[in-house]
Chains A and B, each alone.
Chain A
Amino acid sequence: MISLSDISPRSGAWITPQIVVFTVMLLTAPFWLSAVGLYQYLGIEVAIWMIYALGFNLLFGYAGLHSFGHGAYIGVGAYAFGLFQHHVAVSLWGGLLAAIVAAGIAGLLVGALVSHRRGVYFALLTIAWGQVFWFSAIKLHGITGGEDGLLNIPRPPLDLGFARIDLNDNEALYYFAAGALLLTVILLWRIAHAPFGRILQAVRQSETRAAFVGYEVWHFKWAAFVASALLAGLAGGLFAMAQQSAYPDIMSLHQSGLIVMMVLIGGGLVSFWGPVLGVILYFVARDVLGIMTETWLLWYGLMFVVMVMFRPEGIAGALHLVRKRFSSRDGAASSARVEPI
């Protein structure tokens, strides 16, 4: 099975052509979304989830740590944003900062406790922690509004000093989210190709070897955990703005499992862009198929199961293989296959 280190190019350029294409598609979206039968709010959701998924993949794909309870951090981010608006000040940057910091702290604390573990124990601990956060969000209804959620979260305007942009319109918020997404993409692209990213992959391939080479393995696992939690927090803050409310639902095991499925199906295990593809597929399936049939989630789940059985490389991996088959020129450089561990 191919892995992340195979597909990614050697270059550490800040802006690659892929990023340019992605940017263009993102920025022109409001113009072609309705033409393909989608709508602006969905665009916002997709952008937010891409941030969430890309950050999650740092942990899942790069570090090889399968967290099934990641909904906790996007949830914490959403609640933190809302609570900031209600109790501190109506402020965009303040709220987002609060969201990121709160989720980061949660990731820091939980990460400290789980990063010593790996494999199945790690996975199940993350499930347990995810459930603890979910339960707490429901029970502490004095703070979080419980099952009915935190309502009436305003969309603070974007104050750039020289201009004040109202984000109440879905299109404006979309552009803001898209901007955040682009920054995330560039940041993560750098991280993935920095030594840090390489070390994470080394940890994934073999913790023992990485330790022998001299790295304090659990520090890196912890760092990856916190990084993914920080990005989930950003996504959560944006989501609270989009929905103008925050609910515990996103922390549930079901939702945490969905992000795992999205990322794997998209090809997060083998490609930086896998999570992006996975998010697009999920949301389109949900909105297009979900209207036609109530069983769409069943088909999605079946697709996931079949992929895990035969093609864990996901869509990105499959596309890569298709591409390779059509380019019959020397396949030396980037197609070296790595044996599964």
Chain B
Amino acid sequence: MSRNTLSRRSFFTTSGALIAGASFAGPFTVNRAFAEDKPIMIGLTSDASGQYANSGASDRRGMLMAIDEFNANGGVLGRKIETIHIDTETTPATGSRVAERMISREKCGFLVGAVSSGVANAISQVAQKYGVIYLNTNSSSPSESGENCHRVKFVWDGNGTNFAKAAVRNSINQFGNKWLLLTNDYVWGHDTSAATRKLVEEYGGEIIDEILVPQGTRDFSAALLSIQGAKPDVVAAAVGGDDQKALRQQVAQLGMGESPAWINNQQDWPDVYGLPLDNLFGVFGTTWYYKLDLPGVAEFVQRYQAAYPDTSMRVPGNVFYNGYMATRELLGAIERAGTTNNIAVIKQLEGLKMSAKDRMQTYDAYINPDTHQVQQTIYLATANTGTEDKDDMFKILTASSPDEVLDTAADSACKLESYEDTPTFDA
């Protein structure tokens, strides 16, 4: 009996030693050794696997390019910027855990990055708990700046309502007023479709049906058959990521791209780059395009190509752009605040005005201090059939100013935590 007891005790000492050894053994991707000043730690919470893996990678490239540019100029407030990236796997539970780790173990003062709104919500909840500023670069559910807004969170993408406002009225006039909603069954899908529904009804249209497709759907045959049967004038699709790729493929296969008319809300560049052009049916929205005839765009594209010569995506799109812009403005805000105190930086970002030239967009942009969302130009586009250039896939139809596409519901839905309720610290 005593022998067994001893053996059990030794299990624990052995295991304890093994664990301690294992933990010390590995070199970590973050180098904390040598900075005269403590470096600024930024956590990159982008998805590297799952439905949004491609967009996540683009997002991260944008963030890294902005950070590299600042580091080349001596960092921020004289401190070098360091990053750590952990894959959030397009899963909210993982996002929550990653945020906890980045804040408590890696001592990240800022978190940047999101494509999936589910993940973004999970991360921002944790970030708000500690007061860590979180930039939601690319997730565009209207609730991000509505009921899920937080004092520490800033949203850099146009949301479903903005895009719907840009698209709906024109489409009713052009195509007809019998609409059908095709909705990805999660937050972004629901909120976007709800926004579309409200707008359609406001402008005199009628929603004849709504079809829900789970995330991770590849077989749209049942949904497409139902659409064929219902014969709407317009189908408003709120389907994202890889699901959207599959949808596009199947709609193209069935030759359904022309009739009914398709409104695809926002179209992320990584989701369509490289697809055959007939997959790019319908009208869709974007916040930026690499061939906009605006100052600074061409040079920006060149910088991208110089920084990332090996990626298969030869030109950047809106996801990269949002990641870059958000990070750049954050670092700029820290410089202007003169401190990394989170409340001071938040105050710099609230109400921030960014010129059109700075943003490489058609209109000036600004951050709404009550919802923390960037109000920016919204472009509507369709497939560009008039060129041999495989990269030049979009034909920009219209550009709407931020005020034309304002998400008016957000102001009342959003209740930011007060400054007092937000823990304050210096990163």
Chain A residues at the B interface, C-beta cutoff of 8 Å? 7, 9-11, 16-18, 21-22, 25, 34, 36-42, 45, 138-139, 141, 146-149, 151-152, 168, 170, 243-245, 247, 249-250, 273, 277, 280, 284, 287-292, 294, 316, 319-320, 323, 327, 329, 333-334
- Chain B residues within 8 Å of A319, by CB: 7, 10-11, 14
Known: A25-B16, A249-B91. A147 touches B104 (CB 8 A): no
Bound together, the chains give a CA A238 to CA B96 distance in angstroms of 15
B400 at the interface (CB under 8 A from A): no
Bound together, the chains give a CA A247 to CA B215 distance in angstroms of 15
B314 at the interface (CB under 8 A from A): no
Is B93 in contact with A247, judged by CB distance below 8 angstroms?
A: yes
Is B23 in contact with A284, judged by CB distance below 8 angstroms?
A: yes
Is B117 in contact with A291, judged by CB distance below 8 angstroms?
A: no
- Chain B residues within 8 Å of A250, by CB: 93
Bound together, the chains give a CA A18 to CA B15 distance in angstroms of 13
Which of under 10, 10 to 19, 20 to 34, or 35 or more describes the interface residues of B? 35 or more
B1 at the interface (CB under 8 A from A): yes
Q: Which of B1, B28, B129, B187 contacts A291 (CB 8 A)?
A: B28
Q: How many A-B residue pairs have CB under 8 A?
A: 137
Chain B stretch 1-51: residues in CB contact (< 8 A) with chain A: 1, 3-5, 7-12, 14-16, 19-20, 22-29, 48-49
Is B12 in contact with A146, judged by CB distance below 8 angstroms?
A: no
Nearest residue, chain A, Cβ from B106: A39
B287 at the interface (CB under 8 A from A): no
Is B92 in contact with A148, judged by CB distance below 8 angstroms?
A: yes
Chain B stretch 214-265: residues in CB contact (< 8 A) with chain A: 214-215
> How far does the Cβ of A25 sit from chain B's closest Cβ, in whole Å?
7
Is A18 in contact with B9, judged by CB distance below 8 angstroms?
A: yes
B122 at the interface (CB under 8 A from A): yes
Task: Identify the 9 closest CB pairs spanning chains A and B, nearest first.
Answer: A39-B105, A37-B23, A148-B118, A323-B7, A147-B186, A41-B100, A247-B93, A148-B187, A36-B23
B121 at the interface (CB under 8 A from A): yes
Q: Which of A10, A39, A40, A146 contacts B186 (CB 8 A)?
A: A146
Q: Which of B4, B8, B10, B15 contacts A280 (CB 8 A)?
A: B15
B353 at the interface (CB under 8 A from A): no
Known: A152-B125, A247-B93, A294-B87. A146 touches B187 (CB 8 A): yes
Nearest residue, chain A, Cβ from B26: A292
> How far does the Cβ of A9 sit from chain B's closest Cβ, in whole Å?
5
Nearest residue, chain A, Cβ from B118: A148
Is A245 in contact with B29, judged by CB distance below 8 angstroms?
A: no
Bound together, the chains give a CA A289 to CA B25 distance in angstroms of 10
- Chain A residues within 8 Å of B3, by CB: 327, 329, 333-334
- Chain A residues within 8 Å of B9, by CB: 17-18, 21
Bound together, the chains give a CA A11 to CA B5 distance in angstroms of 11
Is A244 in contact with B129, judged by CB distance below 8 angstroms?
A: yes
- Chain B residues within 8 Å of A25, by CB: 12, 16
Nearest residue, chain B, Cβ from A267: B11
- Chain B residues within 8 Å of A40, by CB: 104
B206 at the interface (CB under 8 A from A): no
Is B22 in contact with A284, judged by CB distance below 8 angstroms?
A: yes
Is A11 in contact with B26, judged by CB distance below 8 angstroms?
A: no
Is B7 in contact with A320, judged by CB distance below 8 angstroms?
A: yes
Is A22 in contact with B12, judged by CB distance below 8 angstroms?
A: yes
Bound together, the chains give a CA A34 to CA B190 distance in angstroms of 42
Is A288 in contact with B23, judged by CB distance below 8 angstroms?
A: yes
> How far does the Cβ of A43 sit from chain B's closest Cβ, in whole Å?
11
B79 at the interface (CB under 8 A from A): no
Known: A244-B129, A291-B86. A38 touches B23 (CB 8 A): yes
Instruction: Name, among B11, B148, B215, the residue most crowded by chain A CB atoms within 10 Å (CB to CB).
Output: B11
Bound together, the chains give a CA A21 to CA B7 distance in angstroms of 12
B97 at the interface (CB under 8 A from A): yes
Is B8 in contact with A273, judged by CB distance below 8 angstroms?
A: yes
Is B8 in contact with A18, judged by CB distance below 8 angstroms?
A: yes
- Pick 12 A–B contacts, CB within 8 A, sort by A: A25-B12, A25-B16, A37-B24, A39-B100, A39-B101, A138-B185, A147-B185, A243-B97, A244-B129, A247-B91, A273-B11, A280-B15
> How far does the Cβ of A153 sit from chain B's closest Cβ, in whole Å?
9
Given A147-B187, A291-B29, A319-B11, 5 more pairs with CB closer than 8 A: A18-B5, A18-B9, A151-B121, A273-B11, A333-B1
Bound together, the chains give a CA A247 to CA B14 distance in angstroms of 35
Bound together, the chains give a CA A141 to CA B187 distance in angstroms of 9
Nearest residue, chain A, Cβ from B148: A151
Known: A40-B104, A148-B117, A291-B29. A334 touches B4 (CB 8 A): yes
Bound together, the chains give a CA A81 to CA B26 distance in angstroms of 38
Is A288 in contact with B26, judged by CB distance below 8 angstroms?
A: yes
Is B48 in contact with A147, judged by CB distance below 8 angstroms?
A: no
Is B8 in contact with A17, judged by CB distance below 8 angstroms?
A: yes
Is B125 in contact with A151, judged by CB distance below 8 angstroms?
A: yes
- Chain B residues within 8 Å of A320, by CB: 7
Nearest residue, chain B, Cβ from A78: B93
